[in-house]
């Protein structure tokens, strides 16, 4: 049985795959071989580098997670933090992805 945060990760992954079936999704793991602060979900969606930090409703971002998110954005990637099963936040992320994709098409 997944942890509360693991259940949210699964919920997000299912929805991402439904919207973008060809999306590559990697779930990071903390431990001796992982890098602290790296977002939970690292993805490639239609050629875009997209990362999501997943939190439960009561979760809080660490300063290191905020810094990693800024680094991703500064490098041209898309980064978001989603708290719980928040469809509005996921829809906002979809909007960012679609906006970048539409710019690429012009």
Give the 3-state DSSP-derived string for 55-91, with helices as H, strands as E and coil as C.
Answer: ECCCCCCCHHHHHHHHHHHHCCCEEEEEECCCHHHHH
Every domain of the chain and the residues it spans? 4-105
Burial of 68 from C-beta contacts in 10 A (0-12 / 13-18 / 19+): buried
pLDDT in tens, 1-58: 778 899 999 999 999 999 999 999 999 987 777 788 899 999 999 999 999 999 999 9
Write out pLDDT tens, residues 81-90. Answer: 999 999 999 9
Model pLDDT, residue 27: 94
pLDDT of residue 65: 96
Find out if CATH 3.40.220.10 is the number for domain 4-105: no
Note the pLDDT of residue 106: 67
Q: What is the pTM of this model?
A: 0.92
CA nearest 41: which of 29, 56, 59?
Answer: 29
């Amino acid at each position: 049985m997944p942890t509360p945060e693991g259940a949210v990760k699964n919920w997000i992954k299912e929805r991402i795959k439904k919207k973008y079936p060809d999306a590559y999704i990697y779930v990071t793991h903390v431990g001796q071989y992982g890098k602290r602060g790296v977002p939970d979900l690292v993805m490639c969606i239609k050629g875009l580098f997209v990362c999501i930090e997943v939190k439960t409703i009561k979760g809080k971002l660490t300063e290191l997670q905020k810094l990693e998110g800024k680094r991703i954005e500064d490098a041209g990637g898309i980064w978001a933090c989603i708290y719980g099963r928040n469809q509005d936040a996921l829809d906002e992320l979809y909007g960012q992805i679609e906006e970048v994709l539409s710019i690429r098409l012009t």
